[in-house]
Amino acid sequence: MSDERGVIVVDAANVVGSRPDGWWRDRAGAARRLLAALEASTELPDVVVVLEGAAKAAAGEEFRRLRIVSAEGSGDDAIVGVVAEAIDSAGGPITVVTADRGLRGRVEALGAGTVGPRWLLERVEPTR
Query: Are 50 and 12 contacting, i.e. CB atoms less than 8 angstroms apart?
Result: yes
59 within 8 A of 40, measured Cβ to Cβ: no
Phi, psi (rounded to 5 degrees) for 95: -125, 125
pLDDT tens digits along 41-96? 888 889 999 999 999 999 988 899 999 999 999 999 999 999 999 988 866 799 99
- Determine the angle formed by the axes of helices 75-89 and 101-110, rounding to 10 degrees: 20
Whole-model pTM: value is 0.90
Q: What is the pLDDT of residue 90?
A: 65
Q: Which CATH number fits domain 7-124: 3.30.70, 1.10.1060, 3.40.50, 3.30.2020?
A: 3.40.50
Cβ neighbours, 10 Å, residue 88: 7
User: Is it the case that residue 2 has pLDDT exceeding 60?
Assistant: no
Contact between residue 86 and residue 3 where contact means Cβ atoms under 8 Å apart = no
Per domain, the residue ranges of the chain are 7-124
